Amino acid sequence: MTHRLFVAIRPPEAIRDALIDLMDGVDNARWQYEDQLHLTLRYVGETDPHTADDLVEALAEIRIEPFELRVSGVDFFERKGVPHTLWAGIAPSEPLLRLQRKVERACTSVGLAPETRKFAPHITMARLNASCGPSAPFLARNTGLSLGPWQVDDYILYESHLRPQGSLYEPIVTYRCKDP
């Protein structure tokens, strides 16, 4: 049996609520549920139990002080010129980049392939497909979005369970930020 894993930061309730309140105005978009809102530090993917156990231990070795984050703006990812994901951005943060690099090192230290995509900190708000209405009005209405700051005190190893009604994200281990 394998585990579909990722490492993420869960925004506090006030930030999640504010994002949920914005989720409207794009016909047929698959808006995320409150329990799906997170900032992915590293998507791990399908992992055997032994590697998953090693990853749990490697992530526990990370040392980083708590730090602040802010949501800043909205945008979308596209594939071949077609938007597929609406997201809320995260303001530039050196501590966030340090944490992400440490998580990446923990992943590669247990034999996982290095991540090849550039880290683009964001919180996914909606999944889009060809049947969705235009996203430009949503983007225009929310372009100046600014939420927070909030203090990041922990990061979480999640297991993702795929379901027809959307993925279920189960927290496996919560790691507290602690002084280096």
Q: Which helix (H) or strand (E) holds 99?
A: helix 94-109
Angle at alpha carbon of residue 60, lines to 58 and 63, rounded to 5°: 105
Phi and psi dihedrals of 114, rounded to 5? -60, 145
DSSP bridge pairs for 161 = 168
- 38, 50, 84, 161: which one is catalytic? 38
- Residue 18's domain comprises 3-176
| Residue in the block written with tokens 């590293």 | 42
- Which tens digits make up the pLDDT trace of 110-165? 999 999 999 999 999 999 998 999 999 999 999 999 999 999 999 999 999 988 77
3 state SS of 37: coil
Q: What is the pTM of this model?
A: 0.94
Q: Which of 3, 50, 122, 161 is catalytic?
A: 122
Phi and psi of 79, rounded to 5°?
-130, 120
User: Tokens 């949501």 appear where?
Assistant: 71
Residue bearing tokens 């490492």: 7
Mean pLDDT of the chain: 95
Assess whether 122 carries a catalytic annotation: yes
**What is residue 29's predicted lDDT score, i.e. its pLDDT?**
95
CATH of the domain at 135: 3.90.1140.10
- Provide the number of structural domains found in the chain: 1
